[in-house]
Structure 1
Amino acid sequence: MKRSSNSPAAVPPTGELDTLGPAAAPPAGELDTLEDVFELVGTKGAYNILVLIACSAVGLMTPMQILSSDFLGKAAPHWCDVPELQAANWTMEQIRNFSSPDPAQNYMCSRRSYDYGIAAQLGFEAVMEDTNVVPGGDMNETCSSLVFQDGIDSIVTEWSLVCDRLVWSSHAVAASHAGLCLGSLLFGYILDRVGRRIGLMVAITMFVPCGLAVAAAVNIHMYIVFRILVTMFGMGMYLGGFVLSMELCTPRQRSLVSSYFVVPWAVGYMATSAIAYTVTSWRYLQVALTVPAIALYCNLCLVPESPRWLIRKGRYEEALSILTKMALRNKRKMPSDDDMSAALRRICPRKVNNVQWSAVSWLRTWIYPQLQWKTPVVFFCWFSVSMVYYGLSQGSANLGVNEYQFIFVGGALEVAAYLVIYPGVTMLGRRVFLALTYAVAAVSIGGVMGMMMTGFDGGNGGLLFLSYSGKFMITAAFHVLYVITGELFPTELRSLIIGEASVCARIGSIMSPYINILVGSEVRWAPAAFFGSFSIASAILAAFLPETRGLALDEELKATKNQEARTPGTGSQGDEELKTKKQEEGTLGAGYQGGKNNPYFSATDDTLASQF
């Protein structure tokens, strides 16, 4: 049964709706934007908070699958196996001291070419008194099999991912980042085509089985395939939860909501280290990092479909049903169903052709003069920030520090970095703050390289301090880069640019384990040289980007032509300067990472609901 179409004559201002009782219901004809609709149904009630908690909970799981690579693929001291000496009851230490070209080294892939049958007959004491009694000791040979130090159970020790198979260790880490890239692309499409809630449901449903399949892998190839899948679905969970959170609140709430949303990411970051410290077997660790996601199935009962997405797709009745439920839970009164349905159709008429992704759109980002230099600069900054971020986050092996402590403190630094962003960009502006964070990160990483080259580690305390400083700054740079990218490009190209930039970022993160593992195994300070060089190059390039602080967001490409000369209130939305300034805080918040892969940057409803 539908409600009466009669509605009160007196209409309170939209901003006062949260203070009114359930009897307050403005005429649907005075609802001009979707923000007015959400103010009407209420966005501060217990129901909204419950949905936000349910959506943000997915952020706990994604970092666990990404950052666990350091523990699942933990390296262990190893040396050549000598079956003849083992059969003669030599200890591992005796075998190592006799057969290794350099017994002081913990990671050996070759051995002396002794006649180990003769050595076994003579005994350890005799051959160590005079090694010349055993022929063949003047040459080395590659190990046919390896022995690993007891007490470390990882994919490296189980499948011997060292020496000539070391590259597979890099592949295993890169698989997680490849999954993030695929997840960003695939679920960007799914979330837009089939809905936020259904996309989230698919991701959660597939996440747990794929995570358990990783633990059941029988070889490195199976492991890599399912690592790609579990991180792909993990990214789908994160994107779905983030988008729903943003689309269920108003612009001025988005800064607070997005700030809260990234907290579970940092908690999951730190929890990964704590769980890995407790569970040392890699298979049981993978299970322990996956099983908690089963609780996310309960979230599906709490999370509604996004009313904004439904309205944009022309599914007004379904959207109205959810809005009515929200109003009921928040004890708010709405106009009649007929009036509300008509208002939704008027506010957001259905668009038959809303195709944003095309070859023509892609070419426009490169052929327009005003974008020809901005686009490659922004893409390079995304590539470098992701490579450096994950290179530092997963570089404990090169530093020679405790990986559990390193990951845990890294998670705590995430929270600290969130806190400096807003005052930083407010006082210094986007461009200066971005260039400054890159530059300080480069100096810190350069200090790490210098200490490694000179051999002055300061008991690892100096290395840790500089590495943490670089991690802190590059984390802040990552967040600000989201913001400035969303503000540099017009609405008609913004989602396309963000999608392309995300791919550049994934390429950078995929490269980071190869730099850390393969290059770092040859020259210890080389990864720091790579990361520092890219950071300083990005700092220089970022300094030439135009400042966007306080400027209205452009809607079309032609308005971007004069962006460098714009002042607040003179852009394509200059007549809405006050509204834009109020929404600026939401723009900053919507750019927050939480996973470093969020493609939703604009705080305005028109762009947020139609991003992908």
Structure 2
Amino acid sequence: MVPDPVSAALGKFGAWQARSLLLLALVKIPAGWHMLSILFLAPNPETFGGCFLCARDNSSKISLNEWIQTRHPVDQRYPLGFDPCNIYPEINGTVSRTAGSLQECNKFEFIINEPTMVSQWSLVCNRGVLVSVVQLFYLLGITSGGVVTFILLKRFSPKMVIMAGTVLQVSAGIAGALQPIFEVHCFLKMLIGLGTCLMFTAANQIIVDISIGWRKTVFSVCFELFWSIGVMSLGWLDAAADSWSTLHLIISVPSILFLVMWCVIPESPRWLIAHGRFESADNLLKFAAACNGRELPLDFTTRKPIASAGCPRQRLPIFKVICLQFMWIGTVVFYYGALLNIKNVGGPTLPIRTTIAGAAEIIGMVIGVFLLLNPKHKFGVLSILLLIGGASCASSFAIPPNESGSTGGWTMLWLAVGGRISIACSLAVMSNGSLELLPADKRAVVGTAMVTVARMALMTAPFLNNLAFYGESITLTFYGVLALIAACGAFCLYVSAEWRVLLGPCNKKEFSLQAVESRSKPSEAENVVCVNFNQYCIYDAEYETNIAA
């Protein structure tokens, strides 16, 4: 095998990788902010102690309480016990309080401390679904961004893609905070999602390229932990904002930092080599080696042939692909959709709930790292964790309602946390340990396709979360069922890809730990992996393509 110049120059780990990984992981913080921001940009008025009701006539001198008692019908489905979307009409100076005479409100009065998207565009009652439409456009940008990044990386370097995504995210974010038209805001939200996806997908590709061995897995999971930092911090940033537009600026402007740090953000040496830019790759690797305290030979160059003509073609295992697709859909829709559903589970204030959710993600990711570093039974253990997490969430339907008829509260929150830990573990395993089940020549394309399909399914989550109006446990139970489906997929993979491997030596009465380990790890030929950005294979005994969710 031809020596890999990238591994030879960088070594296993050093100061250059540490600095690069930290800089690149920072792109995940604004990704978490923007994904979760809709909960604070467009909260229900009752979330932060406010309310809304049909607008009173300017000439009316009736008090707020009297207006609610005389004109709004009682309805316990709403948080404050009255229907704010309809009123009893006034006919000849007399209020008609018959059920069939209700009139739908066209204008609303908001009693809130700070302006939100809901109050600016009256996104309540029949227009309340438009809040989900805003999030739909953001998810549309994320979904298309994965495909666009895959295409761009064939021609443009990951660093250039990060910069393009940063410009798009910052410019669309600032414009979205300042312009007053709802339709334009939706379009800008899609551009923010596209730019965000360009940033974190290209950054993850660089992390995979400059990491060696088991550190590749650990660093890829740590990359996701910065998402959780964004989730945990957003609620407290909202406390510093005096309006939704101010919060939008707060989460958009910091990405300018990546443009300022252009010179210190690393390039991908493997991309440079794959595209024939050997001089740039040589200079980059020599600088990195110097930072790591490694001495390279005077004649060091990346011009040596290190790529094969192409990956060996193999048949696609259809059954495994189907299992992986179900797992991807269950994992992605649960992980991101249930995070948006945290507004419906009740309990403490929303910032505390999002902080607890972020902490649960970190716990799940740590468990995922353990499974990835001890992979003999990873899908078997993952199926058990998903079964526990799914059952935890699905059991929320059994929570008895309180005096007001609500089932939300601390009990539902802790059930949701149990599911969140298991699904975060699943995301870590799927992102960093699932593609090894596919042929090397098809991993990049099939992996990208599976993630894209899962993201398309995710676009239904904002609308599914609206079902909580009819019962807080409905949506959480649905996500629990998704986890159970993913658990079935993980168990099928365990039986087909892990259990049979372990059973084979036992049947032959030749069982040994060495035999199990040798069969549970991919062979040397399987480690010749196609990179995302061109058709060549780079020889590296521990280099694997990683596709982030």
TM-score range (shorter-chain normalised) is 0.7 to 0.9
RMSD: 3.4
Amino acid at match of 1:61: P
Q: CA deviation at 1:469?
A: 1.1
Q: CA deviation at 1:465?
A: 1.1
Pairing of 1:230-245 with structure 2 (within 5 A): 230-245=192-207
Counterpart residue number, 1:555: none
Structure 1 counterpart of 2:93, from 118, 121, 129: 118
Structure 1 counterpart of 2:176, from 204, 211, 214: 214
Counterpart residue number, 1:52: 21
Superposed CA offset, 1:323-342 (max 9, x none):
222233334332334xx34x
Structure 2 counterpart of 1:406, from 343, 353, 358: 353
Q: CA deviation at 1:271?
A: 1.2
Identity of aligned residues (%): 19
Counterpart residue number, 1:88: 60
SS at match of 1:346: coil
Structure 2 counterpart of 1:474, from 418, 423, 444: 423
C-alpha contact (below 8 Å) 2:344/2:408 kept by paired residues: no
Classify 1:415/1:331 alpha carbon distance in 2 versus 1 (closer, same or farther; 3 Å).
same
Q: CA deviation at 1:609?
A: 9.3
Structure 1 counterpart of 2:490, from 542, 547, 554: 542
Counterpart residue number, 1:142: 104
Aligned-partner Cα distance in 1 for 2:433–2:226: 24
Amino acid at match of 1:475: A
Counterpart residue number, 1:419: 366
SS at match of 1:301: coil
Structure 2 counterpart of 1:79, from 20, 33, 53: 53
- The answer to whether structure 1 residue 250 and structure 2 residue 187 are counterparts is no
C-alpha contact (below 8 Å) 1:440/1:470 kept by paired residues: yes
Q: How does the TM-score come out when normalised to structure 2?
A: 0.84
Q: Gaps (5+ residues) in structure 1?
A: 1-30, 120-133, 553-565, 584-589, 591-601
Superposed CA offset, 1:79-133 (max 9, x none):
22231xx523112222111100117525521111222x625xxxxxxxxxxxxxx
Counterpart residue number, 2:545: 608
Structure 1 counterpart of 2:339, from 380, 386, 393: 393
Q: CA deviation at 1:384?
A: 1.8
Counterpart residue number, 1:105: 81
C-alpha contact (below 8 Å) 2:217/2:432 kept by paired residues: no
Q: CA deviation at 1:289?
A: 0.9
Counterpart residue number, 2:245: 283
Classify 1:191/1:604 alpha carbon distance in 2 versus 1 (closer, same or farther; 3 Å).
farther
C-alpha contact (below 8 Å) 1:383/1:504 kept by paired residues: yes
Counterpart residue number, 1:501: 450
Aligned-partner Cα distance in 1 for 2:326–2:469: 26
Moved more, 143-152 or 494-503: 143-152
C-alpha contact (below 8 Å) 2:6/2:270 kept by paired residues: no
C-alpha contact (below 8 Å) 2:431/2:547 kept by paired residues: no
Q: CA deviation at 1:182?
A: 1.5
C-alpha contact (below 8 Å) 2:379/2:494 kept by paired residues: yes
Q: Gaps (5+ residues) in structure 2?
A: 46-50, 502-514, 532-538
Counterpart residue number, 2:378: 430
Classify 1:551/1:273 alpha carbon distance in 2 versus 1 (closer, same or farther; 3 Å).
farther
Q: CA deviation at 1:482?
A: 2.6
Structure 1 counterpart of 2:327, from 375, 378, 381: 381
Q: CA deviation at 1:242?
A: 1.7
Amino acid at match of 2:8: E
Aligned-partner Cα distance in 2 for 1:146–1:544: 53
Q: CA deviation at 1:222?
A: 1.2
Superposed CA offset, 1:376-407 (max 9, x none):
22212211222122232111332234211111
Counterpart residue number, 1:320: 282
- The answer to whether structure 1 residue 524 and structure 2 residue 483 are counterparts is no
Q: How does the TM-score come out when normalised to structure 1?
A: 0.76
Counterpart residue number, 1:587: none
Amino acid at match of 1:346: P
Classify 1:545/1:418 alpha carbon distance in 2 versus 1 (closer, same or farther; 3 Å).
same
Q: CA deviation at 1:575?
A: 6.0
Counterpart residue number, 2:35: 66
Superposed CA offset, 1:557-585 (max 9, x none):
xxxxxxxxx965459964689xx7xx9xx
Classify 1:135/1:409 alpha carbon distance in 2 versus 1 (closer, same or farther; 3 Å).
closer
Counterpart residue number, 1:510: 459
Aligned-partner Cα distance in 2 for 1:522–1:80: 22
Amino acid at match of 2:14: G
SS at match of 1:429: helix
C-alpha contact (below 8 Å) 2:346/2:412 kept by paired residues: no
Aligned-partner Cα distance in 2 for 1:427–1:194: 34
Aligned-partner Cα distance in 2 for 1:320–1:427: 35
- The answer to whether structure 1 residue 348 and structure 2 residue 288 are counterparts is no
C-alpha contact (below 8 Å) 2:217/2:369 kept by paired residues: no
C-alpha contact (below 8 Å) 1:204/1:296 kept by paired residues: yes
Aligned-partner Cα distance in 2 for 1:387–1:610: 17
Q: CA deviation at 1:43?
A: 5.4
Amino acid at match of 1:474: I
C-alpha contact (below 8 Å) 1:452/1:525 kept by paired residues: no
Amino acid at match of 2:198: G
Aligned-partner Cα distance in 2 for 1:150–1:611: 39
Q: CA deviation at 1:292?
A: 1.4
C-alpha contact (below 8 Å) 2:134/2:186 kept by paired residues: yes
Aligned-partner Cα distance in 2 for 1:230–1:355: 36
Amino acid at match of 1:63: G
Q: Which has the larger radius of gyration?
A: 1
SS at match of 1:204: helix
Amino acid at match of 1:344: R
Q: CA deviation at 1:447?
A: 2.2
Count matched residues: 514
